[in-house]
């Protein structure tokens, strides 16, 4: 019963570095999404995917790329890290949004950009 697994849990980067945040789910969910959580601002949607091979932008997509080659995995790539991307990143999945199903969240990746 792994649910949604995010790796790494913590990461420190220097400005300009790139990295990939991993997200995997074992519930065969079609819908996956990435959020960032900043103090006092709740969660903001970065990118989402409604199925393998399909991705779309959320509210704050700039500086991030995603791909969905399999149903299970939905990695988030930071192309050139900036201090403004210091945040906690959450991955979530649900069978399909809009059919009255809750989202399942990972425990997050805490990212600091120096």
Partner 1 sequence: SQQGEEDPQALSIQEGENATMNCSYKTSINNLQWYRQNSGRGLVHLILIRSNEREKHSGRLRVTLDTSKKSSSLLITASRAADTASYFCATDERTSGSARQLTFGSGTQLTVLP
Q: Which is nearer to partner 1, 85 or 109 (CB)?
A: 109
User: Which tokens belong to 58?
Assistant: 């959320």
Question: Which position among 13, 46, 74, 106 is part of the footprint of partner 1 (CB under 8 A)?
Answer: 106
Q: Is 2 in the site for partner 1 (CB under 8 A)?
A: no
Q: Binding marks (x or -) toward partner 1, 19..58, rule CB under 8 A? A: --------------x-x----xxxxxx--x-x-----x-x
Q: Is 11 in the site for partner 1 (CB under 8 A)?
A: no
CA distances from 48 to 79, 90, 108 (A): 17, 12, 16
Task: Kindly state the smallest distance separating residue 15's Cβ from partner 1, in Å.
Answer: 25
User: Which tokens belong to 85?
Assistant: 């991307």
Q: How far apart are CA 111 and CA 52, in angstroms?
A: 26
CA distances from 67 to 1, 53, 84, 94, 99 (A): 24, 7, 22, 17, 24
Residues within the interface to partner 1 (CB under 8 A): 4, 33, 35, 40-45, 48, 50, 56, 58-59, 90, 92, 97-98, 100-108
């Amino acid at each position: 019963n792994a649910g949604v697994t995010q790796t790494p849990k913590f990461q420190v980067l220097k400005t300009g570095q790139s990295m990939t945040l991993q997200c995997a789910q074992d519930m065969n969910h079609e819908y996956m999404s990435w959020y960032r959580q900043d103090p006092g601002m709740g969660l903001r949607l970065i990118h989402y995917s409604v199925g393998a091979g399909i991705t779309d932008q959320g509210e704050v997509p700039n500086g991030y790329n995603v791909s969905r080659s399999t149903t299970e995995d939905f990695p988030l790539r930071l192309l050139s890290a900036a201090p403004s991307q210091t945040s906690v990143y959450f991955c979530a999945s649900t069978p399909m949004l809009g059919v009255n199903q809750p989202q399942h969240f990972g425990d997050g990746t805490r990212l600091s950009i120096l």
